[in-house]
Amino acid sequence: MKRGSMNGQKPANIHDVAAHAGVSIKTVSRVLNREPNVTPKTRDRVLDAVQALSYRPNIFARSLASERSFIIGVIFDNPSAGYVAGIQYGALAKCREEGYHLLVEVFSEGEKDLGERVLTLVRESLLHGIIVTPPLSDSPEVLSALKESGTRFVRIAPERAMPDTLEVRIDDAKAAFDMTSHLIGLGHRRIGFIIGHPGHGAANQRFMGYKAALENAGIKLDPKLCVQGYFSYQSGMEAAERLLTLKNRPTAIFASNDDMAAAVLSTAHKHGLRTPEDLSVSGFDDTLIAQVVWPKLTTCRQPIAEMAAQAVSMLAQPPADKDAPKEALLEHELVIRESTAAPNA
């Protein structure tokens, strides 16, 4: 019977693991803390013992022994519940695998003393590292506070590169180019675009990709077809209302995220338009909402959970590891579903 199972025995401790593996307690600690100078054979023996005994190291004891925290933070200011859930899921799963805990905090980009609040969070929580999601990943106040604190951080989907910082992103401009080109390939020429929140670097990149695809196809940009949104469902409804009441309305609308695209579907239905017969609709991210609305959304899949997992992996690497990657560029994918088709003649 495994020690620490539901048979009433005490959970296994580090002494048990050391005895089972035939190594010292210090060696077990080195393996669990991913320190160097441990042979692969010894490392495997210790990890086998950890699994056999169902050993779960105490996070506070590990922190005291190694003089470093095993808590990774992630900070948000994003109206899309699907995006936030994806980031949390990916980060939690990878933290569990790497032996870390996750701390989640919500901030508002425009709030007073933003930098000071971030600095307080980092210092009081003794974070090992922090994942910064957009638009905070481009916030001067946030980035200045993190640099002042000396805490390692990973920026997700930043617009501007920064020297000596860790980044995880996709090529948002290329992704939007590909989606717009898909709509053009179906025969659409009047393609509306709902721009994402102006404070998000990725939103600006997606708008650039949309415009580049039109230019590549020889289609003149019509400013009336480009409407500002804010990544929220409500802003998607308001933008769709403006586009669908134009005298010469678009035959397709590409929204910068799935929440706004779902709002376009609802607004089109209100106007008596069928999707995709009368109006093709596409989104971005491939969050849960893209699969539960009807018709299901054609969208550009951004690997949100994988991006968060990659960020955790980068923070888990020793800071002195010069060979560790400073930037991770993940692949996007067009997901073609029922909400897009050739324009109705």
pLDDT in tens, 1-55: 344 444 456 677 777 888 888 888 778 767 776 666 788 888 888 888 888 887 7
CATH number, residue 312: 3.40.50.2300
Residue finishing a domain among 53, 81, 100: 53
Say whether both 296 and 321 belong to one domain. Answer: no
Helix 14-21 to helix 25-32 angle (10° resolution) is 100
State the Cα torsion 100-105-108-112 to the nearest 10°: -100
pLDDT at 59: 54
Asked if residue 6 is part of any domain, the answer here is no
pLDDT in tens, 279-335: 999 999 999 999 999 999 999 999 999 999 999 999 988 766 666 668 899 999 999
- Which CATH number does the domain housing residue 18 bear? 1.10.260.40
**Quick one: 299 and 317 in the same domain?**
no
Q: Which structure tokens are listed for 230?
A: 């804010």
> Is-contact 233 259, C-beta < 8 A?
yes
Q: Are residues 79 and 228 in the same domain?
A: no
pLDDT at 60 over 60: no
Is pTM beyond 0.85? Reply is: no
Residue 183, domain extent: 172-303
Burial pattern 263-299, b for ≥16 Cβ within 10 A else e, equals: bbbebbeeeebebbeebbbbbbbbbebbeebeeebbb
Number of domains composing the chain? 3
Residue 8 lies in a domain: no
| 312 and 246 part of one domain | no
State residue 65's pLDDT score: 46
**Is residue 41, in this structure, part of any structural domain at all?**
yes
**Residue 110, exposed/middle/buried by CB under 10 A (0-12, 13-18, 19+)?**
exposed
289 lies in a domain?
Answer: yes
Structure confidence at residue 284 (pLDDT): 97
Tell me if 263 is assigned to some domain: yes
User: Over 70: is that where the pLDDT of 201 sits?
Assistant: yes
pLDDT of residue 67: 45
Do 177 and 322 fall within a single domain?
Answer: no
Per DSSP, which regions of 107-240 are E strands? 129-132, 152-156, 166-170, 191-195, 226-228
**How far, CA to CA in Å, does 35 sit from each of 29, 49, 187, 325?**
8, 18, 57, 18
